[in-house]
Structure 1
Amino acid sequence: MSYIKAENVLPQELIETIQQYVDGKLIYIPCKEKQEWGTTTSAKVFFRERNEEIYENYIGGIGIHELAHRFSLSEKSIQRILRNQRLALSKGAPSV
């Protein structure tokens, strides 16, 4: 996230009002509409494909310990991914 100077985008009277509450501090102003996670990057696709690959490898006989090593994840993370993949498949929904 990049920062912009308030003086460049806000009227002086608004800046003075904000300074009454948070003088000299950084504040976050959220977007009007919340975007779903992963919509602005390819992260969602990457993790979906990775998780599908982990599940397919597990079904193919590779153990949790080996999967954790291959994908540089903890065994607990592999277990969570497998559980979520199973749930998604049972519901017929795509998983992430």
Structure 2
Amino acid sequence: MSYKNGKDFLPPSLLKELQNYIQGELVYIPKIGQTRAGWGENNGTRKLIEKRNREIYQMYKSGTTVVELIQRFHLSEDSIRKIIVKTRELVQNVAK
């Protein structure tokens, strides 16, 4: 993305209207119809974390204790419990 001076390419009437709202500042104008990818969607991180969370939930359901999950996945107790609750809700919603 490069910097462009509005006076070099905007019609004078549009430039004058924009100056009523902002002067001398940088403004980002997004592309039409382009949506940004969510966090971790392009590099696969989101899928890896979802897979890990499902594994944590399945292990918990199979009898693995929270302490054992903490040691295995190197996460805090709070994180493990949040993963269990959130994944349980997702599983229940899919089953409906």
TM-score, reference length from structure 2: 0.65
Asked if the contact 2:41–2:47 (Cα under 8 Å) also holds between the matched residues in 1, the reply is no
1:1-42: CA deviations, max 9, x gaps? xxx6x4xxx33x34xx999236xxxx8x48542323332111
Larger radius of gyration: 2
Matched, 1:21 2:21: no
Q: Identity of paired residues, percent?
A: 31
2:71 maps to a residue whose letter is H
Residue identity opposite 2:77 in structure 1:
E
Q: Structure 2: which amino acid aligns with 1:21?
A: E
Gaps of 5+ in 1: none
Which one-letter code corresponds to 1:84 in the other structure?
Answer: K
Unpaired runs of at least 5, structure 2: 7-18
TM-score (norm 1): 0.65
RMSD value, Cα = 2.9
